[in-house]
Amino acid sequence: MSMSRAAPDRLTQSRARMQASDLLRLDLRQFWLVLFGLSGLINILALTGSIYMMQVYDRALVSGSVETLAFLSALTLGLYLFQGAFDTIRAQILVRLGARLDRRLAPIAHRIAIDMPRYGYTTTEALERSRMVDTLRGFLTSGAPPALFDLPWMPVFLVFCYVLHPVLGAVTLGGAVVLALLTVVAEVRSRKVSQAVQQALILRNTAAESHSRNSDVLIAMGATERAVDRFVKLNDEHLELQTRTSDSGATISSISRMLRLILQSALLGLGAMLVIGGEMSAGSIIAVSVASARALAPIDQVLGNWRGILAARQAYAQLVETLAAAPAKTRPVDLPLPKDSLKVENLTVASPATGRVLLSDVSFELKAGQALAVLGPSGGGKSTLIRALAGVWPPLRGSVRLDGVNLSQIAQDRLAQVLGYLPQDVNLFDGTIVENIDRFAEQRDSQAIYAAATVAGVHAMIVAMPDGYDTQVGTRGTAMSAGQRQRIGLARALYGAPFLVLLDEPNASLDAAGEKALNETIRTIRDRGGIVVVVAHRSNVLSAVDLVAVVQNGKLAAFGTKESVLANRSGEVAVPAAIGGGARA
């Protein structure tokens, strides 16, 4: 999968549109004739009111026949019932199309939303892609699609008005043209502003999400008011753009309603003149008023739903971009699980957000049963290396291979058996401890859960809690302390006894007992033939590893046995003093 902030080339855009069109329009193509046919029946039956009024005024009232009036009323009632039934069927089809669209696209959009942050997008931008599916589903269940389906049937009512009298038909046609021009004006005026509104909304929501995530820092350091002021500024910018869009839409919609009222009154006046002149019957005045209103109703409804149409179009455009990044549905061959080696060859990694190279030409090899500590100054590239080894950040060049197999050739559902990862910032899933450890496995494997917790040295801590393994961790793990989150995160990384275990500063929040348990964990992984790569800023972890790598300035400055690398501390290799001293102690 490839995704970046750079605009895709024309070929990518074209393929994306084709893919999106296939996914977004497949069901609509299947039901197009049904919806179009139903719309035709609905619109033809919509002439019932006009014809009924003509017959009442020109036949029933003239003849004074109650039987004729009763027959006409019964027939009209039946036709209205058919119209209502067809309208209901059309609405239900659109609702189900929206649901089927959601079922097809929501998992794809959510999968890509999970991937987006590692390609430089904010969490808010990623979640916005998932909301686009909701927007499209909401559009299909709104009043806009029926209005769009009714538009092609406007000529039915225009012809009916023309049959009553050519002048009335011409006036109705002129009103339709004017309203159509208003629709074009609405499109031109809102096209650029609507994009700006969406971007302003994302910026505002990003700030809100950031402030919520860092609420403890803002409160403790007295920065809450400044954060609120920042949010207010972004919110005001969004509201200004939103107000401009709403004002434009409301103005055009009001003009549309005013023109419809003027047109209906004009038709009544013209009809009265024609009746006085003997060119038309009295019933035709009411009939043309009803028919003209129905003829112009779809345009008026389109204008009234214009904001929803714009939102749906933007959602479609964003889904096109999202689907362009969707990986091809191919599954690699399920090769035997690795058990011998990890080989890194000329690994070069760039920042997904900026494109700046953070790690360059790193190569080394580890064998089963070895543990590597990655040392170096902050910002030197240690976490970048761990992310690349975990497949979180795709390499710009080079490869990561397990038993000679590129990491990208291992199916996602098999990675759980191959790789365990503990990031620097541990965020637990919303749910229970057991759901965090087994990563929402469909079938609970109690033995594997217990084994992971035991190896991580966290079993005793978990069973001491009131609900044990079923304890809720809270949103983002906030019900747990930092040390508890880190130890549960370690158990999650060890679930299933993966061959390669990657730990990014796993002892950052641990006390002495936790660090001792961590060292025992590393030794246990080595004893069972696994490989451990651990980023460390504290020296205690070095007692459990046999190899050390020093990463600084995006380069692999040193690699070798623990003793040989630390012995060069006074030379060209920059090893933090605390680590070096701790190791010798």
> What is d(CA 143, CA 84) in angstroms, rounded to the nearest whole number?
15
Give the residue-averaged pLDDT of 424-430: 83
Inter-residue contact 371 to 546 (CB < 8 Å): yes
Please name the amino acid found at residue 409.
Q
Both structure tokens of 158: 């225009």
pLDDT digits (tens, 9 = 90+) for 369-410: 999 999 988 888 898 999 999 888 889 899 999 999 988 888
> What is d(CA 194, CA 242) in angstroms, rounded to the nearest whole number?
8
Distances (CA, A) of 224 to 56, 122, 203, 218: 71, 22, 18, 5
pLDDT digits (tens, 9 = 90+) for 113-139: 777 776 767 677 777 777 788 888 888
Q: Sign of torsion, CA 542 544 546 547?
A: negative
Task: List beta partners, residue 533.
Answer: 372, 502
Q: Say what the pLDDT of residue 476 is.
A: 65
Both structure tokens of 376: 């170096």
Instruction: Please give the DSSP secondary-structure letter assigned to residue 571.
Output: T
- Is a pLDDT exceeding 60 seen at residue 20? no
Give the residue-averaged pLDDT of 553-565: 89
- Is a pLDDT exceeding 70 seen at residue 191? no
Cβ burial 271-283 (10 Å sphere, 16+ → b, else e): beebbeeeebbbb
For the chain, which residues make up each domain, given as ranges?
10-183+256-324, 341-584
Q: What string of DSSP letters covers 542-560?
A: GGG-SEEEEEETTEEEEEE
> What is d(CA 571, CA 574) in angstroms, rounded to the nearest whole number?
8
Domain 10-183+256-324 coded CATH 3.40.1000.10: no
pTM, two decimal places: 0.68
pLDDT digits (tens, 9 = 90+) for 431-475: 889 988 988 887 888 999 999 999 888 899 999 988 899 998 877
> What is d(CA 519, CA 543) in angstroms, rounded to the nearest whole number?
7
DSSP 3-state of 406: strand
Inter-residue contact 189 to 306 (CB < 8 Å): no
Q: Say what the pLDDT of residue 22 is.
A: 59
- Label residue 192 by pLDDT band (50, 70, 90): low
Dihedral of the CA atoms 432, 434, 435, 440 (nearest 10)? -160
Q: Say what the pLDDT of residue 580 is.
A: 40
**Which range, 98-107, 361-370, 478-487, is most confident?**
361-370
DSSP 3-state of 201: helix
Give the residue-averaged pLDDT of 269-297: 85
Look at the block and give the residue holding tokens 């450890």. 437
Both structure tokens of 387: 């992310």
- Label residue 295 by pLDDT band (50, 70, 90): confident
Give the residue-averaged pLDDT of 549-560: 90
Question: Comparing C-alpha atoms, which of 389, 456, 440 is closest to residue 419?
Answer: 389
Domain 341-584 coded CATH 1.20.1250.20: no
> What is d(CA 400, CA 359) in angstroms, rounded to the nearest whole number?
14
pLDDT digits (tens, 9 = 90+) for 133-176: 888 888 888 888 898 889 888 888 889 888 888 998 898 888 88
405, containing H or E segment: strand 405-406
> What is d(CA 11, CA 124) in angstroms, rounded to the nearest whole number?
28
- Is a pLDDT exceeding 70 seen at residue 43? yes
CA atoms within 13 A on the CB side of 266: 16
